[in-house]
Chains A and B, each alone.
Chain A
Amino acid sequence: MGEAVLQSIDCVLPDGVSVSSLVDTENGYISRRIFSDTHIYELEMDRIFRRTWLFLGHESEIPNPGDHVTRTMAGEEVILVRGADDVIRAFLNSCRHRGMRLCRTDFNNTSHFRCPYHGWTYKNNGELSWVPIMEDAYGKDRIDKSSWGLVPVSQIDTYAGMIFGNWDSEAESLDDFLGDLKWYLDLVMKRTDGGMEVFGPPQRWEVPANWKFGADNFSGDNYHIIMTHRSTVELGISPPDPQFSMYAHEISLSNGHGINFVGGPPDMSAPPYLGLPEALWPQIEQNLNPDQAQILKDSLAIPGNLFPNLALLNVILAKDQQSAPVPFLTWRLWEPTGPASMRVWSWFFVEKSAPEQYKHDSYKTYVRTFGPSGVFEQDDMENWIECTRSSSGKIAQRYPFNHTMGIGHLEMNDDWPGPGEAYPSGYTEGPQRGFYKHWLSLMTSEHKSAGNG
């Protein structure tokens, strides 16, 4: 696919305020307005969600031909399906005749999608294969079936088994979009033989908060651990020094991606490789290069956010006050459903080659700490809901958020062995500023149309 040709066009909101005036990443001021404004939300749907790569699911969710799940891209439902030919595709979940929703389940397996309204039937590769009583109803050869197939998502691609879709046929490739993040994705998703696989379907829950609070937090907010998650320190299921998350590197990457590697103070003993079972260490050392392996070896937590709205957390925690800590991996989507609401989808992943008992321990640790009942996640939601609530007031909107952490006093670490801009502290907002910078660049740009000079 070609490079998107974007030209800079600032957008002026109905009250005369320009979008570019709402975000100042150089100095670290972000307007509250972008977290609640309806026009901003609509512009995001247009300039971000219909133009970037969006996470659809993982290959391990649809392992067999005919398997399909329903997912959403920029507010429109799509069918993510593995065809009879084993090719993964995605289509608008809508019959071409009258728009009836074809798949009304969360998952199923089928060779053909049959519309409940008039019976138009599509193969699971999207081709319209049968129109009932076609000749009598429409006349001979009046319907060219080849032009009435399901609307395909313009681009589909996978990386490390993760399936992404893009409505924009002119957008850069997934490979280019991920860029240097791939080096870190390998560290998380490809470190063991066979990589990671999902363990069960995603949990889904609705939160009256703007999606960007989730993206912001997972991009690089290690600062909130001391207060938001202090209860877990008291319980002993988090490291004992709540300031442990300061000992980290925060990495800003191009295209608004951010990832963090949190270690812990030097005097804190921590198991290597996030506490993954020793049986997996030879695989890790085989599958990763020495720099990647060392970074993983020293990590206790790896939070991050893949632009725009896909976050990850690979972390070692305890599932209760008696058990030894065990690591787990979760990927989550902050699906925007309105300027002040989102639906969170949260997947639990585990190493395919890990011992069975470990998989179950990791799973329990995940459910009890993250997800809607998670003792960590509960408190994050509380924050983002109230922050969203205060973003809509006109008085409040006069006072931008402070995203200045790290500006002027924290130098990049040029010795960091991985790609991207690495800041040697968990207490910086570099990746967040990178997220908003990319957000702004998309919000203030448009495709050059063929007609323009």
Chain B
Amino acid sequence: MLIEKDELRVGGLLYASIVDFLYREADLLDRGNFREWLGLCTDDIDYRMPIRLTCVRAAGPGHSKNMDYLIEDMASLEMRISRMESEFSWAEDPPSRTRHIISNIRAEEGDKDNEVQVKSYFIVYRTRGDNASPDLFSGVREDVLRDERDQWKLARRKILADHTVMGASSLSIFF
């Protein structure tokens, strides 16, 4: 596909295809189709979620450069997904129920001709068992999507969460 700046604006054709990609991706995650979701990632996927600290305004948003909640590549994502297919994956069996609400999507040209930079807000509700109160995660995802044979694939994702202390007992889900 030819990546043109104008088509990346809200309403542009490429923008629409990016939104469709993100919605499709969220749907796969929420339906637990992790293998298919992994198929939407490039082989060199770089997927991370830094921890966050409360610091003074002048010091910036507080996302750590040295500690993460998630720091993944294709091999480790594959490992996590294989684990969920095990009958001994207690934290995700019975599985969490998630709902990825994706919004505020904006796209720009990327560093390479076949890449775009995409930012999207997320709210993820997650419940397990009979817990009536969901875990609630929000933040922004800074992605790089790559055109591979006219299909978008996720090449890079940095998940910048809005919380510092994680209000959930485990992060056994994807964002």
Contact = CB atoms under 8 A, between A and B. Distances in A.
A27 to B, nearest CB: 30
A-side interface mostly? mixed
A207 B171 CA distance: 12
A108 B58 CA distance: 11
B53 A201 contact: yes
Given A231-B86, A364-B71, A382 B79 contact: no
Interface in B85-141: 86, 88-92
B60 to A, nearest CB: 12
B112 to A, nearest CB: 25
A208 B167 CA distance: 10
Contact of B169 (A104, A105, A208, A227): A208
A348 interface: yes
A281 to B, nearest CB: 27
A306 to B, nearest CB: 22
B19 interface: no
Nearest to A226: B88
Contacts of A375: 79-80, 83
Contact of A201 (B51, B59, B80, B170): B51
Interface string A181-220: 0000000000000000001111111111100000000000
B168 interface: yes
Interface in A346-381: 348, 363-364, 367-368, 371-373, 375, 377-379, 381
Interface in B32-70: 49, 51, 53-56, 59, 62, 64, 66-70
A320 interface: yes
A235 B83 contact: yes
Given A235-B83, A372-B171, A323 B166 contact: no
A245 B42 CA distance: 37
Q: How large is the interface on A (under 10, 10 to 19, 20 to 34, 35 or more residues)?
A: 35 or more
B172 interface: yes
B85 to A, nearest CB: 9
Contacts of B82: 235, 321
A250 B90 CA distance: 27
A279 B114 CA distance: 43
A323 B75 CA distance: 9
**Residue with the greatest number of chain A CB neighbours at <10 A, chosen from B69, B73, B83, B170:** B170
A50 interface: no
B151 interface: no
**Residue with the greatest number of chain B CB neighbours at <10 A, chosen from A323, A373, A379, A382:** A373
Contacts of A378: 90-92, 170-172
Contacts of A379: 89-91
B-side interface mostly? mixed
A349 to B, nearest CB: 12
A199 B79 contact: no
Given A200-B66, A227-B88, A322 B75 contact: yes
Interface residues of B, number: 39
Contacts of A203: 51, 67, 69, 166
Contacts of B20: none
A453 to B, nearest CB: 48
Contacts, number: 130
A96 interface: no
A91 B171 CA distance: 33
A207 B89 contact: no
B78 A321 contact: yes
B17 interface: no
A86 interface: no
A391 interface: no
Nearest to B69: A373
A201 B76 contact: no
B170 A377 contact: yes
A383 interface: yes
A343 B79 contact: no
Given A375-B80, A382-B170, A108 B69 contact: no
Contacts of A108: 55-56, 59
A207 B19 CA distance: 35
B64 A200 contact: yes
A291 interface: no
B169 A206 contact: yes
B78 to A, nearest CB: 7
A307 to B, nearest CB: 24
A230 B166 contact: no
Given A203-B69, A321-B75, A231 B83 contact: yes
B166 A199 contact: no
A241 interface: no
Interface of B: 49, 51, 53-56, 59, 62, 64, 66-73, 75-76, 78-80, 82-83, 86, 88-92, 164-172
Interface of A: 104-108, 199-209, 227-228, 230-232, 234-235, 237, 319-323, 343, 348, 363-364, 367-368, 371-373, 375, 377-379, 381-383, 385
14 contacts: A108-B55, A200-B51, A205-B166, A205-B168, A234-B83, A235-B79, A235-B86, A319-B76, A321-B78, A322-B75, A372-B166, A372-B169, A373-B171, A382-B90
9 smallest CB-CB distances across A and B, nearest first, come from: A200-B67, A200-B66, A378-B91, A205-B166, A320-B75, A373-B171, A230-B88, A231-B86, A106-B53
